[in-house]
Amino acid sequence: MQKVAAVTGGAQGIGKAVALGFARRGYAVAIADTDSEAGLEAVDGIVRAGGAAAFQRVDVSKEEQVHNWIVGIANEWKRVDVLVNNAGISRNGSMLELPLAQFDEVIGVNLRGAFVCAQQAAAVMKRQGSGAIVNMSSTRALMSEADTEAYSASKGGLLALTHAMAVSLGPYGIRVNAISPGWIETADWQKSSQRQTPVHSDRDKLQHPIGRVGTPEDAAAACLYLCGDEAGFITGQNLVIDGGMTV
């Protein structure tokens, strides 16, 4: 039976590379994203490459939309083998002035959204007796920069959520791990580095001893590894992929 991977925020950036990576491994891929145009394009790319994929417009902070998405996948494809909680936003700004609504929004998508998706997907995985979940954290969970409180807290929370869910779901054959990327060159990163001076953009590269920022494919490879049989005894872990930035 064909395996099924569910990827949130899979319309662009890291999530898009993750979705394509699973499709290349023979998974049917279900992409959830708030950006329908990019989501449909991502599906098109997978189908043109010979894979199977479907898109649904889902805001991960809305539990009813998540519920309908996961139920739809289980009806259509009968299983959910992998969930990658990749959808994420940042609202950085002066710690002293950040509106609480923005703090809540970031936690709502990055942390609560991941929990809602995991809760729904794990119900299907429990029935199957197997599954793998990957939460997209960040090196921001490990080292801070000024005025990134909401984002850093959401990503730190994801690491604790990963530990807790690994313990809760292990008995059902479900593994839960996290990935913490350093800078990954996505449209979002490019936008923020363009806002910065060239010095800042060079600084991003220099922060990584490997001498470059990461690619979405670097992050996708880590996801594929953690969800594969070769990682069958790994759960509750955080795989840092940052070219050595945090060592």
Q: Which tokens belong to 87? A: 């959808």
Q: Which stretch binds ligand NAI (CB under 6 A): 3-11, 92-100, 123-131, 229-237?
A: 3-11
Q: Which residues contact 34 (CB under 8 A, 6 or more apart)?
A: 57, 58, 59, 87
Q: Is 57 helix (H, G, I), strand (E, B) or coil?
A: strand
Q: Which stretch binds ligand NAI (CB under 6 A): 10-18, 20-28, 70-78, 121-129?
A: 10-18
241 - beta bridge partners? 181
Q: Is 22 helix (H, G, I), strand (E, B) or coil?
A: helix
Instruction: Name the minimum Å distance from CB 179 to ligand NAI.
Output: 8
Establish whether 172 is a catalytic residue: no
Among 29, 181, 201, 218, binds ligand NAI (CB under 6 A): 181
Q: Which of 27, 151, 172, 225 is catalytic?
A: 151
- First-to-last alpha carbon distance for the chain, in angstroms, is 41
Q: H or E element: which one contains 86?
A: none
Q: How many helices and strands in the chain, by DSSP H and E? A: 9, 7
Measuring CA to CA, which residue among 35, 8, 7 is closest to residue 21? 7
Instruction: Name the minimum Å distance from CB 82 to ligand NAI.
Output: 16
Instruction: Name the minimum Å distance from CB 123 to ligand NAI.
Output: 20
Residue 89 in the binding site for ligand NAI (CB under 6 A): yes
Interface of this chain with ligand NAI, residues 44 to 73, rule: CB under 6 A: 58-61
Question: Which residues in this chain contact ligand NAI in the complex, by CB under 6 A?
Answer: 8-9, 11-15, 32-35, 38, 58-61, 86-89, 109, 113, 136, 138, 181, 183-184, 186-189
